[in-house]
């Protein structure tokens, strides 16, 4: 007893061959559409895979950049903190100094300059 699936496959193949023989232009157009759609689908899959890899690499680079920027910021803070403390100390000292009064007239201004050695 022959396999029924094999008989149905033979019928489908024979009908396909008859259709191709009777309408070769439609068969070529169908084949071309099939090839182009297969190519487009495979290209999309490859492009999607490449994009996911690129995104993964960019995330990794972003993490490295954040780590480096935190380290550089800590180094910057080590350098800048003593300068800020020194500036604040100088501000406190300047508050204690009495500001100089502007000269009342030209003669007083000339006396001050002569006292400075000009």
Give the C-alpha separation, 90 to 77, whole Å.
Answer: 20
Tell me the CB-side half-sphere exposure of residue 34, using CA atoms within 13 A: 6
pLDDT in tens, the chain (118 residues): 456 677 788 888 898 889 888 988 988 998 899 999 999 999 999 999 999 999 999 999 999 999 999 999 999 999 999 999 999 999 888 888 767 788 889 999 899 888 888 7
Q: Given this model, what pLDDT does residue 4 score? A: 61
């Amino acid at each position: 007893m022959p396999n029924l699936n094999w008989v149905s496959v033979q019928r489908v193949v024979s009908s396909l061959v008859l259709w191709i023989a009777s309408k070769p232009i439609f068969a070529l157009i169908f084949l071309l559409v099939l090839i182009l759609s297969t190519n487009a689908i495979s290209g999309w899959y490859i492009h999607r895979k490449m994009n996911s890899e690129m995104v993964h690499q960019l995330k990794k680079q972003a993490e490295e950049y954040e780590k480096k920027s935190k380290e550089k910021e800590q180094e910057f803070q080590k350098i800048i903190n003593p300068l800020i403390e020194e500036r604040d100390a100088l501000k406190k000292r300047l508050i204690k100094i009495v500001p100089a009064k502007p000269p009342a007239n030209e003669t007083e201004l000339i006396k001050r300059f002569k006292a400075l050695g000009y």
